[in-house]
Amino acid sequence: MSCDEHHHHDDHHHMLDHAKVGKPVTPFTMETFDPEEGFFGEISLEKCLDEKKWVVLVFYPADFTFVCPTELADLADKHAELKKMDCEVISVSTDTKFSHMAWKTSERLLENVKYKMAADPTGKVARYFGVYDCETGLALRGTFIINPEGLLVSSEINFYNVGRNADELQRKMEANVYLKDHPAEACPAKWKPGSKTLTPSEKLVGNVYSSMID
């Protein structure tokens, strides 16, 4: 039986379908280690949405590895800016909460990590987001943004050997926050706050260049 077949026959861990950009995300709950408070707890998508928060999920393969701590340190550098945008940032791997605590305590690269570190040891949530590798039991490098209405608005998945850039995550969050308040507009490539946006219309068809330089 394949990984996916096993998943669909496991009623206890079954989550409907898979996450799709532009569609509502099925609620989930995961156990966490909270580095800022120093204790174990849990994170619930439903609770985050009740608090009108954006949710950023950052999946990575495993604790005590090599590229992963560089990514989590990079994410930590952007955490304060993401929090200003009402983001709940959550790192996720298939390790346990106990492993998260031990890794956070021993790895100096993680000394500034203050966001919650979630445990997905069954791979249930990783499967739902399409990042679970059933050959290894690990999660690929997936980053997902869920808006306060519970819609998945951004999805990025890298293989094990390519680390991500938190600068781009911050840029995408800034664009998504702006567009939530300006739904008639669109953000072009490399858009940053204060840059020109596009307003799709008949006049814009074939005239994007002139619109950008006006």
Q: List the catalytic residues.
A: 68
- Please, are residues 170 and 82 in contact by the beta-carbon 8 Å criterion? yes
